[in-house]
Structure 1
Amino acid sequence: MITRTQRPGLGRLAAAGLTAMSLAVLVWTTPAAAADVMAQLPSATTATASKTTTADHSKFKELEGPFATGPEVTEACLECHTEAADHIQQTTHWTWAFDHPVTGQDLGKRNVVNNFCVATATNWPRCTSCHIGYGWTDDKTFDFAAERNVDCLVCHDTTGNYKKFPTGAGHPTYEPKEFPPKSGNVWQPPDLVKIAQNVGPTSRETCGACHFYGGGGDAVKHGDLDSTMARPSKALDVHMAPDGLNFQCSTCHTTGSHEVTGSRYVTKAVDRLGIDVPGHTDDTRATCESCHAMTPHEEAKLNDHTDVVACTTCHVPEFARGGKATKMWWDWSTAGKLNEEGKPFTVKEGADVIYDTKKGDFLWEANVVPEYRWFNGAIEYTLIDDTIDPSGVVPINTLGGGPDDPDSRIWPFKVMRGKQPYDSVNNVLAVPHLFGKDESAFWGAGKFDWIKAIEAGMQARNVDFSGEYDFVETTYHWPIVHMVAPKDEALECEACHAENGRLANLGGFYMPGRGDFGWLNTLGWSLAGLTLIGVIVHALLRVVGASRRK
């Protein structure tokens, strides 16, 4: 086998040779011994208070209620779980802030910019409906140290009846309330006593209550996470299917002191520690290798690919394939149009909104073939104080890695594209104030005035605004790691080893069958032909020699 240090010039995939095998699914084509072990593992069960905990919370006096608000429930929980709130308040889930240990960038939802709803600043009550707390209505006044502000129920509800109100800054509704306005859809207050008495472990449903709906709706953001993943078929996800292994999110995203592993800010592009052994590795199963090791295939040629190809490159042939399309394009520059009656309007195509006065134009796609990039786990973000070049496409996040980097693998990505506002004098991305009823809110009394909205948003982020704006095209890369397909739906050889294959646009290396170097392919086939001729001639000489000896 050709090692990395022996490959410069021909590239990292030359080892695949002309006999490259199909890149089959890593997760399920494991060696026989590993397969036996996996088969003996008990399936994870859906979180239920009665079957998965050692305590019957319905018997606890502290939870008899009545509870008027969510924070009152939290106070009751902390009577026994005395350190839980302190744990939560140290996590990125709580702070929405992350200091990157390598790049030094201040990340987290409080700091990054995206090309969906752009930013959280000044839009807190809407954005924090997915915060694991109560009452974050303003970044300057919210008490991050108050333990009663932690929301225990959003992660530990097992009834399926606990829902945060979309504009409630993390609270559920405590009285019947219509949302969206004038829709006729009335949200009812949850039975907080019943929910508190039936808490249990986290589940796909509780994690998905936020993560399936990131970006403002079902399937909008990630591409490989949507409501179909709550109870996926085996064809959609072999790990999480209820009639299969029935993994919950925490099966892989393990926790310690409520800190969840598997951050997208610090991604492991490759896990050389291999199978997770308590006390000897990093105690997380948020990588494929932590269960399946670095060389999981029975066929050696397939294992030859694992030093250059990420597991999900082969195992997730398409994303958004559960029946929900994902948003692939968002154009804010067209927002603000009114109909003939001078009112906001929406346009739908099937189940998907393709234009909204409040947000602009959208494009949705289902069964999407990922885009492939070299990736070593390093990601650098374009932040609000970074100067951009508006003459081209602005990458909101830039991936590290390349074909000559031994820590890089070919990874699959959803690439979200769109147009969003920027300060056309200072050349920085703009943060608009979207949500609210005040005079500067783009969706409120501001009546779709970009100048007012951007001025308020930039002021909240302490960034100067010139008073002039325009729109710039941006991209955002989202790693694809869920929706792992069955092994018989894995990519075959020709998916990549072909002139117009999936990796046709990924440069910097040689790959057999792609037509990179015609002379090299000719030489290879010529050598193979000469070898075959030599074998035939040698065989004939042996036959002739044997006949003469007789």
Structure 2
Amino acid sequence: MQTHGTRWRLLYLSALAVTFCVLLMPHGARATAEADPGKQFPYGIPYSPNNTADHSKFKELQKEFSSPEEVTQACLGCHTEAATQIHKTIHWTWLCPAAKPEAKLGKGGDVINNFCINIQSNEPRCTSCHIGYGWEDKNFDFSRQDKVDCLVCHEQTGTYKKFPTAAGYPPAKPTQFGGKTFMPPEWNKVAQSVGRPTRKNCGTCHFFGGGGEGVKHGDLDASLFSPKKALDVHMDAEGLNFTCTRCHTTERHAISGRCYKSSEIVDRRSLLDYDQIKRITCYACHSETPHKNHIKANDHTDKVACQTCHIPAIAREHSTKMYWDWSQAGKLNEKGKPVVKEKDGRIVYDGKKGAFRWEKNVVPEYFWFNGKIQYLTLTEKVDPSQNPVQLNRPMGSYDDPNARIYPFKVHRGKQPYDPVHKTLIVPHLFGKDPDAYWKGYDWQKAAEAGMEYVGLPFSGQVDFIETQFVFQSTHMVAPKEQALSCVECHSPNGRLKNLKGFYVPGRDSHPAVDALGWGGMLAALVAVLAHGGARFFSNGRRKDK
């Protein structure tokens, strides 16, 4: 029978053991669980809720607000360091914080893509998804604390919307755009609703990047607002229901994720120091040997990323844009308005932007990837004979111990370039001035204005060149029953047919290896027959005796 003192000692030892487990558990698991509390996390340790305060009770948020900047000032009255923390993040500058400032690595700088091309000279349209107010041109004051938009990430009413062409501002009055009516926010209501970011907060921008839903990332679209398990086992609205911040852990408002200047992924087991931002991986929760009843699958984790087998296809519910041809833009109707054509609910031609191709249930393309992606910048020359020109490329190879075979969406397109200087062009697309392409539909004027804005030479000639841009696929993780079978890759026309430079059983043939294999099989067959024959004759002799 336990004494009173024994029971206390047992309670003390139990508490000590739990504390010890928490300290030993990967930092990523702790940080992620805290980001989305209330559920069990690795090692079966529960976490108590850590919700934000009820902001409807704060007098500071009950006064009348006349501008979004006033709301931000009220937030900063308590969250005194929030704005300066945000100012150091890629969400604010649109430049990678790990890169040197002069490199201008990011969509806010000299990185170029083949969907919206580049934001410079087009800021009011592109920055409608910026977490700030008023980034209209290169003169935007990034040091202003009251220009930080707290609400876009934290409001929970679902009524707060920025206006698509207002440089990050919501409408001041009811305004029509694209067949929709945008209403001015009820400032008190949205300010008092704030809480932890949800998929709705993050998806409002990230599911609609590139000018529309599903344009950029084939694994990010509106189907993830409330997905079923078949679409994503982690974000399953009726299951685990992970928010984005469950994996994209956050420290001082810096949210983990891809950055343009990337470090190689070395430690895959727990939270990583990744481009100055910590990030969680699949291995942090599932370990490097996650397959309990499939030992052979565990042998692949040193060369194959988890996503490769567990994301069999992207854009499984909503289609994603796979091709964008800017050279086809410019067709206007009799009223001088851009021609628009739709197919299956998607715009396949827009006189402002050109021709598009959309696809659904897209099989990813596979590359060796060590965590680093190399980007082409505006100042670099392109080779017109390269078809297509690679605007970015995953780094890694079979011989790289930190590389894995990884799935990517490859977005292909045709975009303007200078055939004399052999550089890609930043066109001035948005604006009311006659040089803006969407005003005058003159590529030469748009190119001249855009290149002057970024301070780069322009020959006066515009041609178009084929390009491709890759997007790492890591969302839309399917249930394990839908994981790829062996034959999907281990066959001559399997998924890895274009990934060369190494031997894949079932896909490749090698005379020496094949001869050795067939020789082994023949030797085994001869040995079995010889053994069987010997047993047969020996049994016969025993019966004769």
Question: CA, structure 1 residues 329+228, in 2 after alignment: closer, same or farther (shift >3 Å)?
Answer: same
Shift of 1:399: 2.0
1:502 corresponds to which of 495, 503, 506: 495
Query: Closer, same or farther in 2 for the Cα pair 1:414/1:268, shift >3 Å?
Result: farther
Equivalent residue, structure 1, for 2:485: 492
- 1:535, 1:239 → 2: CA distance? 50
**Counterpart in 2 of 1:465?**
458
Post-superposition shift, 1:521? Answer: 3.2
Instruction: Determine helix, strand or coil for the equivalent of 2:481.
Output: helix
Residue 349 of structure 1 aligns with which residue? Answer: 343
* 1:40 shift after superposition: 4.8
Asked if 2 retains the 8 angstrom alpha-carbon contact of 1:355 and 1:362, the reply is yes
Partner of 2:430 in structure 1? 435
- SS of the residue corresponding to residue 405 of structure 2 reads strand
Partner of 2:127: 128
Change over 3 Å in CA distance of 1:371–1:193 after alignment to 2: same
Alignment deviations for residues 254-287 of structure 1 (CA, whole Å, 9 cap, x no partner): 011001112242557755341459x9xx994532
Q: Indicate the structure (1 or 2) with the bigger Cα radius of gyration.
A: 2
Structure 1 stretches of 5 or more lacking a match? 1-35, 45-50
Contact residue 317 and residue 491 of structure 1 kept, 8 A: yes
Match of 2:173 in 1: 175
Instruction: Identify the residue that residue 294 of structure 1 maps to in structure 2.
Output: 288
In the alignment of these two chains, the number of paired residues is 499
Is residue 2:226 matched to residue 1:231?
Answer: yes
1:151 aligns with 149
Per the TM alignment, residue 343 of structure 1 is displaced from its structure 2 partner at its CA by: 3.6
- Pairing 1:360–2:373 present: no
The answer for the alignment partner of 1:62 in structure 2 is: 60
Q: How far apart, in 2, do the equivalents of 1:65 and 1:472 lie?
A: 55
- C-alpha separation between the residues in 1 aligned to 2:343 and 2:337? 20
Give the alignment partner of residue 389 of structure 1, picking from 354, 360, 383. Answer: 383
Pair 1:539–1:42, CA change in 2 (3 A): farther
When the two chains are superposed, the root-mean-square deviation of aligned CA atoms in Å is 2.4
Paired with 2:420 and 2:268, the residues of 1 have a C-alpha distance of 48
Corresponding residue for residue 267 of structure 2: 272
- Aligned residue in 1 for 2:402: 407
Distance in 2, matches of 1:93 and 1:345, equals: 34
Partner-residue secondary structure (3-state), 2:437 = coil
Q: CA deviation at 1:250?
A: 0.4
Flag the 1:106–1:544 CA change in 2: closer, same or farther, 3 A.
farther
For 1:530 and 1:103, the matched residues in 2 are separated by 65
Q: Return the alpha-carbon distance in structure 2 between the equivalents of residues 327 and 95 of structure 1.
A: 26
Aligned-pair CA distance for 1:335: 0.6
Structure 2 counterpart of 1:86: 84
* Higher relative helix content: 2
Any gaps of 5 or more consecutive residues in structure 2?
1-39
Structure 1 residues 77 and 126: CA distance shift in structure 2, 3 A: same
Please give the per-residue CA displacement for 1:421-479, whole angstroms capped at 9, x wherever unaligned: 011110100000101111111112xx101111111111111101111110000000111
Aligned to 1:222: 217
Alpha-carbon distance between aligned partners in 2 of 1:150 and 1:100, rounded to the nearest angstrom: 21
Match of 1:25 in 2: none
Check whether the contact 2:52–2:196 (CA below 8 A) recurs between aligned residues.
no
How has the CA–CA distance of structure 1 residues 270 and 99 changed in structure 2, closer, same or farther, with 3 Å as cutoff? closer
Q: 1:484: Cα distance to partner?
A: 0.2
Pairing of 1:418-457 with structure 2 (within 5 A): 418-444=413-439, 447-457=440-450
CA displacement 1:517-541 (0-9 Å, x = unmatched): 2553353144134224424533553
Residue aligning to 1:240? 235
Q: Confirm or deny that 1:476 pairs with 2:469.
A: yes
Identify which range, 97-106 or 485-494, moves more after superposition.
97-106
SS of corresponding position for 1:108:
coil
Q: Indicate if the aligned counterparts of 1:43 and 1:245 stay in contact, CA closer than 8 A.
A: no
Q: Which amino acid aligns with 1:72?
A: E
2 CA distance for matches of 1:388 and 1:295? 43
**Aligned pair in 2 of structure 1 residues 173, 37: CA closer, same or farther (>3 Å)?**
closer
- Measured against aligned partners, the alpha-carbon deviations of 1:181-219 in whole angstroms (never above 9, x if no partner) come to xx3x22111111011111000111101111000000001
> How far does the alpha carbon of each residue in 1:131-168 deviate from its partner, in whole angstroms, 9 at most, with x for none?
1001111112x111111000000000111111111111
